[in-house]
């Protein structure tokens, strides 16, 4: 599945919240697997962002790299380009029916949590996708 780094980061945050709720076995596995895959994106993003901080920054009084105001626009442009990069991920989908489990009732969940995860859910009758990582 292709998505931008920014979307992957937001999806990971949403999965962390979704992962704090009890789900049937299959959705729990999909959530755990996708969360793990997206966590790797977050680690790589942060590593690349730190490289950009060092490249554009200067050491502050505490010895930490900090981007000075005169380099902030250049730094921000580089970070935005990093966030807009499209990546291929091995993410799984899950049926909304499976999210209900044996209770056959919709779990209560905030729409703001689900919004970044719309890609992860299939409707009744749709086949789950099995995309591969490059």
pTM (2 decimals)?
0.83
The answer as to whether 65 is a domain residue is yes
The answer as to whether 42 is a domain residue is yes
Q: How many domains does the chain have?
A: 1
**Two structure tokens written together for 57:** 């920054």
Q: Tokens 């209900």 map to which residue?
A: 100
Q: What's the pLDDT score for residue 132?
A: 52
The answer as to whether 132 is a domain residue is no
- pLDDT 10s digits, 51-91: 999 999 999 899 889 999 999 999 999 999 999 999 999 99
Banded model confidence at residue 96, pLDDT cuts 50, 70, 90: confident
- pLDDT 10s digits, 12-59: 999 999 998 889 999 999 999 999 999 999 999 999 999 999 999 999
Domain of 57, in residue numbers? 2-122
Q: What's the pLDDT score for residue 134?
A: 45
Parallel, antiparallel, or unpaired for β 58-59 and 86-88? unpaired
- pLDDT 10s digits, 102-128: 666 667 788 999 999 999 999 765 555
Q: Name the burial class of residue 14, with classes exposed (0-12), middle (13-18) and buried (19+) by CB atoms within 10 angstroms of its CB.
A: buried
Q: Considering only residues 128 and 6, tell me which one the structure prediction assigns the higher pLDDT.
A: 6
């Amino acid at each position: 599945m292709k998505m931008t780094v920014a979307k992957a980061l937001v999806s990971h945050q949403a999965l962390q919240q979704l992962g704090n709720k009890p789900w049937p076995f299959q959705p729990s596995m999909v959530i755990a697997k996708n969360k793990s895959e997206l966590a790797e994106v977050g680690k790589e993003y942060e590593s690349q962002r730190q490289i950009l901080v060092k490249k554009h920054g200067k050491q502050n009084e505490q010895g930490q790299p900090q981007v000075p105001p005169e380099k902030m626009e250049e730094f921000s442009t580089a970070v935005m380009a990093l966030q807009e990069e499209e990546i291929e991920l091995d993410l799984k989908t899950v049926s909304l029916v499976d999210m209900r489990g044996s209770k056959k009732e919709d779990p209560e969940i905030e729409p703001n949590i689900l919004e970044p995860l719309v890609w992860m859910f299939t409707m009744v009758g749709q086949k789950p996708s099995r995309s591969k990582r490059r």
